[in-house]
Amino acid sequence: MPRRLATAVATLLALLGSVAGTARAAAPAYVALGDSYSSGTGTRTYINDGTTCQRSVYAYPSLLASARGYALNFRACSGAKIRDVSNLQLSALSSSTAYVTLSVGGNDAGFAAVLTTCAEPWWAADCNGAIDRAQAYITNTLPGSLGALYKAIRSRATSAKVVVVGYPRLFNGTDCNSLTWFSSAEMRRLNATADLLNSTSSSAAAAAGFAFANPTQRFVGHAVCDSPEWINGLSSPLPESYHPKVSGHRYGYLPAVSPIVTGSTVSASAAVLQAARASAHRLARQQRQYAALDRSIEPETFAQPIRKYRQ
């Protein structure tokens, strides 16, 4: 190749590389904070990041980022409570963060323990007492804790669009799992507790100037034991239990959250799913730098009650 032509080709390649690098740098920074309902527990496919956070490329933060070309920092982790988000996840935020999503509060209210209690036979456990305690926490303690967290988020992500994301109702009034004993009345109260958690989070978000994405209506007709169900019932392995499936994130959470974040509804097309899967290695490498911190988060897991009654 003549020297002049070789020089021109090299210059062109360098220019193209510079443009590509600028495009990557210009991608809006998106940080996903929170617990298992944001990390993707229940989808059964997780990135290999050296933690038990159960981050999935099929969770709504990954799908949203893949659809819009956002630069995702996927900090949400299964088991996270408000203190974990405050102490372990907020370092990902900065003044350059453009978007933040967050789901948290369910673990603080002890929802996994409440579900475990209510799944036991009525004569063996005090489900109503467990629900009463959770509702009292949500009403009396959670607002102040969320307010402090939201203030800390805003102090770091000074100009970000922040969207607080709620929780779906889990039950349709029928318990089709042979190893659990949820009554119809208990399921109604558990759904009402999810509604209370959502309304409390929404009020705290509004007070902080944040938006709120409520997934409740999107999951109507797709609860545990519905057909099709978008939420796992009692599952193996147990941590998958009572969390949204891939379909729950794709058809439930994504269309509930995306219009509030982006201004329009995002769908998880085949191309979006392919892009999400392709991001797995990058996300895993990115999150390994936080692995030592994330290992301090205690998983919140539904316990199988039937074992107790087989002894």
Tell me the three state secondary structure of residue 98: strand
Preceding omega of 215 cis (within 30 degrees of 0): no
Evaluate whether 78 touches 41 at the Cβ level (below 8 Å).
yes
Structural contact between residues 110 and 134, judged by C-beta atoms closer than 8 angstroms: yes
Residues with catalytic function: 36, 243
CA distance 267 to 250: 8
Measure the CA–CA gap between 298 and 168, rounded to whole angstroms: 23
CA-to-CA distance for 72 and 260, rounded, in angstroms?
17
Tell me the CA distances in angstroms from 79 to 8, 124, 177, one per residue in order: 55, 26, 24
Q: Which amino acid is at 30?
A: Y
Distance CA 182, CA 173 (A): 9
